[in-house]
């Protein structure tokens, strides 16, 4: 099964496990990696039934982009025996700080707790090697980091051999020390100066074979777990930066409306705590002693607002626009029976619990920014341009984030903070109100899906899938990688979105001629790549249609999938969930099981869901909440190639499952007259405790590869799709729009748009319990 | 500006602030106690959940003027006593609950109050109690939160 991963442009070198790294000139030992990357254009032939994504997926493009600068990532061995590594990625809960520490610990034979992984500041010299997205961190950094760690270990061994006067080959490395045959032991910390280099030199190393792994593949708890549960973990808004006072922005009543005039600036400046009121590109920024006083001031501001580009438009208008732009299906239903499906996917939000935020301290000749940034180099460049400062005068610190789900690919808050700080002449701690985050933040675009399969006897001769979407903004980061590596792409001259679509949509089934195309319209919305981008929606459509095709052939959904899946990995995970989840077991009327498979990020998944759609369950009451059908069981099996941290992988499977459940059953944004009606959490119905599955099981398949796939977004699509197929089977109705409750009467009373944020309640003590 | 005196995490504090400023901002912006997090400002996401006189409450919805001199506020920072983690915090670590961690201070404070409340009612924690927890975890760690609460409850004597 490992053969299928041969196409990974992960870093082919002298042979499978031999790589070249550098020892960097420094007073103590510092090492870096170089990765020799194969030319993807000659890496593998395109087998006819493969799609673009089988040839080169988005992650492989990202690996390619990251490789040339891998030698600029440095591991340091400190005198106290710890090892430091500043990871050029953003941690928002994915677990990459922990897994990276594990990877270094494994290669260096040092306890994980002695490996200190921090997040690197923006480093423009890394070019495309500092983007956190596409579930790509471990895929792109695994080999370079191991190579650097192996160089460090080799230098430490050589230094120890000199110190002890023995042959290096006789030495072992155990628990962060080099140990000789006769039992003498030298700690890495004691060896680091002797192992250091005066000149940067290339070093060839052999990486540890998979069979010798002791850390990789065993569950490890998060390295920041204690800080998280004691309140000591610091997020951007918890940092103390001298003079940085709370700042919020009064925003327009419709999407991307503009300030014409502030009518009562002087009065607002008189309000308690308020220090500054300035107009910035996106609204009116207010700085005050506390965020509470910012909220008061934002609410008090009288602003003459200019219209936004979407004023007056509602869900139905955008849907009509999408329908008009759908690319026609090409195969006429002449030979065989056409099985058709049409789907609508409503707007959704990726809202992290930590709203958009950043600290900025802009001076006349320099600026410093702190924020949870997934593309910090783009932030640095564009903020410098905005401030009219040289790029090197702008320092950008990457702070651990309180969730992202794609939102923090964009530096919207950092840009606003920089602009406000410059205009006010003071440091600012800028945070979006939740209402801002929902109404003016970035969204998962509305889209439609059309699917046509032609069934002839017991074969599917063609499968066409059309996805038509409001444009997704990939401008910073992903877009730049695509531009730079256009010549290496298998897809020809496509736009950013079409390229990403082509590189992320695998071909899952042997359905004859298969086409998957994206068309986009309407760039007026604030959009972005929400967790798993297009795949939750394309998978919902695909898997619901697979059940429909199976029904046409009078086949069981599991037996049908087993027969038609393209890869043995898919069949293995499918069999696993069918067995563990007891596919086909008897269930009461109104309950049902559903299946789905999904391949992406160099990984294979299958999911079995059970759902309860009985009236008593659907009608259960929770105050100010969406209840509806309840998923009662999720079983997901994942073949990730090489699992690094099974505990973290399991966590990401659960996390993705919660997104998948929400995307199929409950969570969407309603566009009315140019703005989204939702303005807070009890409006936007992301999965809550009352909708969680009582039974959740993630099964991690044994390693099938020498390289890890991506985990962060992986579970969203298969779970969303399996919930959809389960719902269809439990209710006997094929869902045609997602989430299924979008057209139900609103479960909340929309908040006003002027003022743009709600006042905080005063009855908190009455509710103490 | 009015002065407010009360106890936070066992320490007497006095702050100057307008009566209307919500306690969340007094804690975070004036006292620098940042464990309670902002997620909505309208008492729905529960990320700021802390305790007042032993009961769970949300300081985003309490004007500081309502806090009385005898009131004892506990935030996540005050849950560990004498350098020893609260059993619920230990359960959270043992179940590796956190992902991004942003909601977890509020989750833990809500969990501790829930356990105390059902004890007072003389009954064990039921699934219905867990279903009713309103604290949002956007990373979706709900399953591990439920396991940790049941386990933490056993460890709380």
> What's the CA gap between B77 and B114, in Å, rounded?
18
What residue of B is the nearest CA neighbor of A403?
A: B100
Nearest CB to B140: which of A291, A354, A655?
Answer: A655
In B27-79, beta strands by DSSP E: 50-52, 55-57, 72-74
The stretch A47-68 carries a mean pLDDT of: 75
Residue range A92-114, pLDDT digits in tens: 999 999 999 999 999 999 999 99
Nearest CB to B138: which of A238, A403, A433?
Answer: A403
pLDDT of residue A11: 35
The stretch A193-197 carries a mean pLDDT of: 93
Q: For residue A111, give the 3-state DSSP assignment.
A: coil
The whole-model pTM stands at 0.95
pLDDT band at A460 (very low <50, low <70, confident <90, very high): very high
pLDDT of residue A337: 92
Tokens describing residue A695: 């039974």
pLDDT band at A342 (very low <50, low <70, confident <90, very high): very high
pLDDT of residue A28: 86
Residue range A364-423, pLDDT digits in tens: 999 999 999 999 999 999 999 999 999 999 999 999 999 999 999 999 999 999 999 999
Strand A394-398 relative to strand A367-371, pairing = parallel
DSSP-derived letter for residue A104 is H
What residue of B is the nearest CA neighbor of A634?
A: B143
What residue of B is the nearest CA neighbor of A354?
A: B39
DSSP-derived letter for residue A446 is P
Contact A293 B99 (CB under 8 A): no
pLDDT of residue B129: 97
* DSSP per position, A205-253: EEPPPGGG-SSTTS----TTHHHHHHT-PPPGGG---TT-EEEEEE--S
Question: What is the value of ipTM here, to two decimals?
Answer: 0.98
The stretch A146-163 carries a mean pLDDT of: 96
Say yes or no to pLDDT of A2 above 70.
no
Ramachandran assignment for A95, one of left (phi > 0), alpha (psi -120 to 50 degrees), beta (any other): left
Chain A hits for B26, CB-CB cut-off 8 Å, are 290
Contact B138 A400 (CB under 8 A): no
> What's the CA gap between A665 and A631, in Å, rounded?
9
Chain A hits for B143, CB-CB cut-off 8 Å, are 654, 692-693, 696
What residue of A is the nearest CA neighbor of B47?
A: A353
A15: which residues sit within 8 A by CB, 6+ positions away?
none
DSSP-derived letter for residue A313 is -
B151: closest CA of chain A, how far (Å): 15
What residue of B is the nearest CA neighbor of A679?
A: B40
Q: For residue A360, give the 3-state DSSP assignment.
A: strand
Question: Mean pLDDT, chain A, as a whole number?
Answer: 92
Contact B98 A655 (CB under 8 A): no
pLDDT band at A35 (very low <50, low <70, confident <90, very high): low
Q: Confirm or reject contact between B133 and chain A (CB < 8 A).
A: yes
A413: which residues sit within 8 A by CB, 6+ positions away?
A356, A357, A358, A371, A430, A431, A432
Tokens describing residue B140: 């979706």
Phi, psi torsion values for A587, nearest 5 degrees: -135, 155
What residue of A is the nearest CA neighbor of B112?
A: A769
pLDDT of residue A479: 72
Q: Lowest-pLDDT range, A186-200, A322-336, B70-84?
A: A322-336
Nearest CB to A764: which of B53, B57, B101?
Answer: B57
> What's the CA gap between A119 and A133, in Å, rounded?
15
Phi, psi torsion values for A600, nearest 5 degrees: -170, 165
Axis-axis angle for helices A535-552, A716-731 (nearest 10): 40
Q: Confirm or reject contact between B48 and chain A (CB < 8 A).
A: no
A230: closest CA of chain B, how far (Å): 6
What residue of B is the nearest CA neighbor of A680?
A: B40
Q: Confirm or reject contact between B29 and chain A (CB < 8 A).
A: yes
Q: Confirm or reject contact between B127 and chain A (CB < 8 A).
A: yes
> What's the CA gap between B73 and B48, in Å, rounded?
12
pLDDT band at A359 (very low <50, low <70, confident <90, very high): very high
Q: Confirm or reject contact between B10 and chain A (CB < 8 A).
A: no
Residue of A418, A410, A412 whose CA lies nearest to A385: A418
Residue range A558-614, pLDDT digits in tens: 999 999 999 999 999 999 999 999 999 999 999 999 999 999 999 999 999 999 999
A431: closest CA of chain B, how far (Å): 10
User: What are the angstrom distances between the C-alpha of A395 and each of A63, A178, A427, A667, B31?
Assistant: 26, 39, 14, 37, 28
Q: Confirm or reject contact between B30 and chain A (CB < 8 A).
A: yes
Other CB atoms within 10 Å distance of the CB of residue B93: 18
Say yes or no to pLDDT of A724 above 60.
yes
Residue of A496, A447, A492 whose CA lies nearest to A467: A447
A159: which residues sit within 8 A by CB, 6+ positions away?
A191, A194, A195
In A601-731, beta strands by DSSP E: 603-612, 630-639, 671-672, 675-676, 695-700
pLDDT of residue A15: 57
pLDDT of residue A34: 61
Nearest CB to B32: which of A240, A405, A654?
Answer: A240
| Cis before A87? omega within 30 | no
Q: How large a percentage of chain A has pLDDT more than 70?
A: 95
pLDDT band at B121 (very low <50, low <70, confident <90, very high): very high
The stretch A121-132 carries a mean pLDDT of: 88
Residue A367 pairs with which residues in a beta bridge? A362, A394
pLDDT of residue A144: 92
Contact B99 A655 (CB under 8 A): yes
Chain A hits for B45, CB-CB cut-off 8 Å, are 353, 434, 680-681
Chain A hits for B8, CB-CB cut-off 8 Å, are none
Interface A-B, measured as beta-carbon pairs within 8 A, has a size of 235
Contact B102 A293 (CB under 8 A): no
A146: which residues sit within 8 A by CB, 6+ positions away?
A19, A33, A103, A106, A107, A207, A208
Q: Confirm or reject contact between B52 and chain A (CB < 8 A).
A: yes
Q: Which residue has the higher pLDDT, A644 or A485?
A: A644
Q: For residue B24, give the 3-state DSSP assignment.
A: helix
Through-space distance between the first and last CA atoms of chain A, rounded to whole angstroms = 55
Nearest CB to A222: which of B34, B52, B96?
Answer: B96
B137: closest CA of chain A, how far (Å): 8
> What's the CA gap between A217 and A215, in Å, rounded?
6
Residue range A513-555, pLDDT digits in tens: 898 999 999 899 999 999 999 999 999 999 999 999 999 999 9
Say yes or no to pLDDT of A5 above 60.
no
pLDDT of residue A46: 28
Chain A hits for B132, CB-CB cut-off 8 Å, are 622, 689-690
What residue of A is the nearest CA neighbor of B103?
A: A353
The stretch A295-316 carries a mean pLDDT of: 98
Q: For residue A404, give the 3-state DSSP assignment.
A: coil
A142: which residues sit within 8 A by CB, 6+ positions away?
A10, A103, A644, A707, A708
What residue of B is the nearest CA neighbor of A349?
A: B138
Residue range A654-680, pLDDT digits in tens: 999 999 999 999 999 999 999 999 999
Buried b (16+ CB within 10 A) or exposed e, B63-90: bbebbeeebebbbbbbbbeeeebbbbbb
Contact B100, B157 (CB under 8 A): no
Which alpha helices (H) appear in A275-409, and where do they start and end? 291-300, 315-325, 376-387
B142: closest CA of chain A, how far (Å): 6
Give the mutation candidate from B42, B43, B45, B151 for the A interface (greatest A CB count, under 10 A): B42
Contact A230 B89 (CB under 8 A): yes
Note the Cα A97 to chain centre separation in Å.
Answer: 15
A622: closest CA of chain B, how far (Å): 8
> What's the CA gap between A763 and A755, in Å, rounded?
21
């Amino acid at each position: 099964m490992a053969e299928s991963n041969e196409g990974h442009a992960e870093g082919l070198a002298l042979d499978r496990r031999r790589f070249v790294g550098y020892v960097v000139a420094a007073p103590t030992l510092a090492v870096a990696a170089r990765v020799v990357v194969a030319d993807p254009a000659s890496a593998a032939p395109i087998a006819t039934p493969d799609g673009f994504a089988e040839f080169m997926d988005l992650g492989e493009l990202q690996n390619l982009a990251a490789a040339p600068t891998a030698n600029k990532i440095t591991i340091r061995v400190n005198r106290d025996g710890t090892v430091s590594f500043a990871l050029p990625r953003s941690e928002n809960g994915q677990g990459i700080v922990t897994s990276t520490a594990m990877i270094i610990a494994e290669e260096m034979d040092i306890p994980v707790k002695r490996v200190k992984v921090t997040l690197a500041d923006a480093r423009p010299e890394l070019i495309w090697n500092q983007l956190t997205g596409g579930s790509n961190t471990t895929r792109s950094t695994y080999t370079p980091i191991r190579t650097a760690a192996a160089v460090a270990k080799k230098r430490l061994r050589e230094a120890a051999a000199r110190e002890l006067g023995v042959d290096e080959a006789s030495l072992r490395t155990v628990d962060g020390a080099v140990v000789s045959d006769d039992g003498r032991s030298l700690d890495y910390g004691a060896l680091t100066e002797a192992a250091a280099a005066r000149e940067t030199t290339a070093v060839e190393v052999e990486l540890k074979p998979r069979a010798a792994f002791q850390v990789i593949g065993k569950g490890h708890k998060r390295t920041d777990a204690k800080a998280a549960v004691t309140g000591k973990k610091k997020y951007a808004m918890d940092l103390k930066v001298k003079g940085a006072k709370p700042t919020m922005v009064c925003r327009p009543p419709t999407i991307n409306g503009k300030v014409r005039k502030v009518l009562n600036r002087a009065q607002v400046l008189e309000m308690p705590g308020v220090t500054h009121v300035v107009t910035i590109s996106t609204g009116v920024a207010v700085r005050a002693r506390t965020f509470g006083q910012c909220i008061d001031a934002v609410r008090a501001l009288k602003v003459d607002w200019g219209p936004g580009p979407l004023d007056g438009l509602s869900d139905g208008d955008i849907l009509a626009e999408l329908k008009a732009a759908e690319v026609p299906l090409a195969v006429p239903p002449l030979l065989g029976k056409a099985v058709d499906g049409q789907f609508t996917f409503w707007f959704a939000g990726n809202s992290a619990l930590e709203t958009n935020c950043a600290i900025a301290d802009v001076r006349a000749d320099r600026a410093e920014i702190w924020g949870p940034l997934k593309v910090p180099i783009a932030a640095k460049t564009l903020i410098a341009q905005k401030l009219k400062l040289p790029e090197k005068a702008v320092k950008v610190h990457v702070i651990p984030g309180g969730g992202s789900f794609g939102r923090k690919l964009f530096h919207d808050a950092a840009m606003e903070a920089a602009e406000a700080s410059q205009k006010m002449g003071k440091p600012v701690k800028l945070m979006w109100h939740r209402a801002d985050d929902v109404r003016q933040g970035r969204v998962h675009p509305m889209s439609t899906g059309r699917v046509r399969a032609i069934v002839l006897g017991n074969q599917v001769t063609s499968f066409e899938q059309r996805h038509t979407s409001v444009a997704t903004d990939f401008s910073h980061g992903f877009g730049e990688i695509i531009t730079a590596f256009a010549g290496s792409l298998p897809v020809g001259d496509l736009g950013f979105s079409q390229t990403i679509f082509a590189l992320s949509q695998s071909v899952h089934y042997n359905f004859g001629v298969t086409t998957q195309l994206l068309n986009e319209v309407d760039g007026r919305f604030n959009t972005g790549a929400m967790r798993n981008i297009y795949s939750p929606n394309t998978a919902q459509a695909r898997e619901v249609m697979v059940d429909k095709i199976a029904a046409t052939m009078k086949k069981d959904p599991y037996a049908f999938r087993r027969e038609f899946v393209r890869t043995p990995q898919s069949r293995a995970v499918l069999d696993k969930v069918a067995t563990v989840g007891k596919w086909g077991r008897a269930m009461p009327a109104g309950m049902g099981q559903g299946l789905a498979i999904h391949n992406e990020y160099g990984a294979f998944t299958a999911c079995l869901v059970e759902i309860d759609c009985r009236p008593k369950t659907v009608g259960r009451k929770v105050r100010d909440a969406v209840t509806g059908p309840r998923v009662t069981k999720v079983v997901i099996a994942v073949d990730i190639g090489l699992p690094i941290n099974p505990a973290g992988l399991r966590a990401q499977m659960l996390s993705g499952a919660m997104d998948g459940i929400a995307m199929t059953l409950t969570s969407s944004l309603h566009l009315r007259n140019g703005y989204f009606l939702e303005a807070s959490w009890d409006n936007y119905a992301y999965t809550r405790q009352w909708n969680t599955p009582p039974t959740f099981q993630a099964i991690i398949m044994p390693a099938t590869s020498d390289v890890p796939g991506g985990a962060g977004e992986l579970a969203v699509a298969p779970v969303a799709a399996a919930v959809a197929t389960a719902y269809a089977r439990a209710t006997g109705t094929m869902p045609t729009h997602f989430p299924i409750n979008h057209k139900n009467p609103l479960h909340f009373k929309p908040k006003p748009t002027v003022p743009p944020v709600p006042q905080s309640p005063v009855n908190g003590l009455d509710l103490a319990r | 500006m009015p002065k407010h005196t009360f106890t936070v995490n066992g320490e007497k504090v006095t702050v100057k602030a307008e009566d209307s400023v919500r306690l969340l901002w007094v804690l975070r912006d004036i006292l620098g106690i940042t464990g309670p997090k902002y997620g909505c400002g309208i008492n729905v996401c529960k990320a700021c959940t802390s305790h007042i006189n032993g009961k769970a409450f949300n300081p985003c919805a309490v004007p500081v003027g309502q806090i009385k001199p005898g009131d004892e506020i506990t935030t996540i920072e005050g849950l560990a006593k004498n350098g020893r983690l609260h059993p619920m915090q230990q359960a959270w670590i043992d179940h590796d609950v956190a992902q991004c961690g942003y909601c977890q201070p509020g989750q833990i404070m809500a969990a501790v109050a829930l356990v105390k409340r059902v004890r007072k009612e003389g009954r064990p924690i039921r699934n219905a109690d867990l279903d009713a927890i309103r604290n949002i975890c956007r990373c979706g760690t709900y399953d591990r939160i439920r396991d940790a609460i049941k386990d933490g409850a056993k460890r709380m004597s």
